[in-house]
């Protein structure tokens, strides 16, 4: 009985370790996602197809893409906004943008 209990605990430790390693890897991937903008954000460069619109997350304002998709940080669907709207939200939320 004592042996069995010890085995269960060591299995749990292994699972915990795997889970931690996996979530760390996912965390690292999240941060390097190209739709997460850092530093001075150049909206005109993000708008690759030059239609004057981009897709922006409504929670993580620096998550901006030219294509529809989901935010890699919170999983929310990116909202289609004009460059002007995206710019306004970035300024309101203390992000730096290229004029
Ligand atoms: Zn988000």
Residues 39-53 have pLDDT tens digits of 999 999 999 999 999
DSSP per residue over 78-99, as a string? PEEEEHHHHHHHHHHTT--B--
Span from the CA of 73 to the centroid of ligand 1 (angstroms) = 5
Confidence class for position 3, pLDDT limits 50, 70, 90: low
| pLDDT for residue 77 is more than 70 | yes
75 dihedral zone (left: phi>0; alpha: psi -120 to 50; beta): left
Confidence class for position 4, pLDDT limits 50, 70, 90: confident
The residues near 89 (Cβ < 8 Å, ≥ 6 apart) are 56, 61, 81
Span from the CA of 19 to the centroid of ligand 1 (angstroms) = 23
Span from the CA of 90 to the centroid of ligand 1 (angstroms) = 14
- The pLDDT assigned to 67 comes to 97
């Amino acid at each position: 009985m004592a042996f069995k209990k010890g085995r269960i605990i060591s299995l749990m430790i292994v699972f915990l370790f795997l889970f931690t390693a996996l979530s760390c890897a996912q965390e690292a991937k999240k941060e390097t996602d190209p739709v997460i903008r850092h530093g001075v954000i150049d909206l005109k460069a993000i708008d690759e197809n030059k239609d004057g619109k981009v897709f922006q997350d409504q929670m993580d304002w620096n998550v901006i893409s030219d294509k529809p998709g989901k935010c890699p940080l919170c999983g929310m669907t990116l909202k289609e906004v004009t460059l002007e709207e995206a710019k306004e939200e970035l300024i309101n939320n203390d992000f730096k943008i290229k004029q």
